[in-house]
């Protein structure tokens, strides 16, 4: 009836997503302490910060200091976000960074203009240049992100054909340059997906490119994040972006409220997977402790649930 994977890989985005939207800039030492706590949980990948325009995202300007301050644990990839060549070259200088070659595509011009100051078509062209830069550094192409894959906060609904059009382009680009297909991520950047649409769009991508590995980047803007992830898991998705304690949000996603809504919450979603018998390789208790640290750092109640209510009682807890 469904096609749940046996195991999944969570990629933690909280240290970037969570702090980029705050009006206050949090000290690098505090963000490094959170990353160290996350490392204790054996999350396979943690995004440390971003190399983007410091005027647009001042909270990430000192990402190099976080890379300096954190304690690396074996088996964990410490990654960063960049949106262009300049950002990538800065990231490449970081000590101990894992450089995951990533391509970025937009389904709408208005979102692309806000995020990258170029149209979606221009952004598509720039990705060829990024591939050449990755080659220069010997960096493998690991991920292709389709941003606003389920709709845009400026342009509203996005036809499925724009998503499959980008997928076709990614396939062509890889064929042309003799590369293996990267994981294709469908991003619900502004939180307007619903579970049926998640199934439909992932299904369409799978039909188009049966050999593609698919990932999801979901926001819980309207309370459907968990249901959307369950729908994605039913379609066999194995790669999941999430944020500890539900931290974060895109600073350019227009909402009724100035404060953006966060990604799906790592520890709640790890709990969901583990309860369904999907292996994550993560120590949930350590993850919950990291979520509680995130709340102390941010200084207000965060939206994660299990961090506040605890794991369910087990048989051995019976009095």
> Given the rule CB under 8 A, which residues bind a second copy?
1-2, 4, 151-157, 190-192, 194-197, 199, 220-227, 229-231, 254-257, 261, 265, 268-269, 271-272, 275-277, 301, 303-306, 308-319
| Smallest distance from a second copy to CB 10, Å | 14
Is 265 one of the annotated active-site residues of the chain? no
Nearest to 206 by CA among 247, 160, 243, 260: 160
Specify the residue, 181 or 204, whose C-beta has the smaller distance to a second copy: 204
- Give the Cα separation of 238 and 266 in Å (integer): 14
Specify the residue, 62 or 220, whose C-beta has the smaller distance to a second copy: 220
Specify the residue, 1 or 71, whose C-beta has the smaller distance to a second copy: 1
Q: Which residues contact 109 (CB under 8 A, 6 or more apart)?
A: 119, 120, 121, 155
| Smallest distance from a second copy to CB 62, Å | 29
Gap between the terminal Cα atoms of the chain? 39
- Give the Cα separation of 228 and 248 in Å (integer): 18
**219 to each of 148, 266, 307, how far by Cα in Å?**
11, 11, 18
| Smallest distance from a second copy to CB 112, Å | 15
| Smallest distance from a second copy to CB 109, Å | 11
| Smallest distance from a second copy to CB 18, Å | 16
Find the catalytic residue in 152, 174, 250, 273: 250
Specify the residue, 138 or 210, whose C-beta has the smaller distance to a second copy: 210
Provide DSSP, 227-266: HHHHHHHHTT--EEEEBGGG----TTS--SSSSPPPBPBH
Which pairing describes strands 183-188 and 45-51: parallel, antiparallel, or unpaired? unpaired
Specify the residue, 48 or 250, whose C-beta has the smaller distance to a second copy: 250
Neighbours of 14 (CB within 10 A): 29
Instruction: Indicate which residues carry an active-site annotation.
Output: 250
């Amino acid at each position: 009836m469904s096609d749940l994977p046996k195991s999944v890989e969570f990629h933690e985005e909280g240290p970037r997503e969570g702090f980029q939207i705050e009006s206050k800039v949090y000290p690098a030492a505090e963000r490094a302490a959170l990353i160290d706590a996350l490392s204790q949980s054996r999350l396979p990948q943690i995004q440390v910060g971003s190399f983007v325009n410091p005027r647009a995202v001042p909270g990430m300007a000192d990402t190099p200091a976080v890379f300096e301050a954190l304690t690396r644990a074996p088996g964990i990839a410490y990654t960063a976000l960049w949106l262009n060549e300049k950002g990538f070259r800065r990231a490449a200088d970081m000590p101990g960074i894992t450089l995951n070659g990533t391509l970025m595509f937009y389904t709408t011009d208005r979102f692309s203009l806000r995020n990258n100051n170029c149209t979606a078509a221009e952004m598509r062209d720039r990705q060829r240049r990024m591939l050449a830069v990755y080659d220069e550094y010997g960096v493998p192409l690991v991920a292709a992100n389709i941003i606003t894959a389920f709709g845009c906060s400026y342009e509203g609904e996005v036809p499925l054909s724009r998503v499959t059009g980008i997928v076709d382009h990614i396939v062509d680009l890889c064929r042309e340059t003799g590369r293996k297909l990267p994981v294709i991520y469908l991003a619900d950047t502004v939180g307007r997906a619903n579970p049926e649409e998640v199934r439909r769009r992932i299904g369409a991508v799978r039909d188009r490119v049966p050999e593609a590995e698919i990932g999801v980047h979901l926001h819980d803007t309207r309370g459907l994040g968990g249901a959307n992830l369950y729908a994605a898991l039913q379609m066999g998705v194995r790669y999941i972006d999430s944020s500890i304690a539900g931290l974060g949000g895109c600073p350019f996603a227009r909402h009724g409220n100035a404060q953006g809504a966060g990604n799906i919450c790592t520890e709640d979603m790890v709990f969901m997977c583990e309860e369904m018998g999907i292996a994550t390789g993560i120590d949930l208790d350590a993850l919950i402790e990291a979520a509680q640290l995130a709340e102390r750092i941010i200084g207000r109640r965060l939206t994660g649930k299990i961090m506040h209510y605890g794991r369910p009682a087990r048989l051995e807890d019976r009095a």
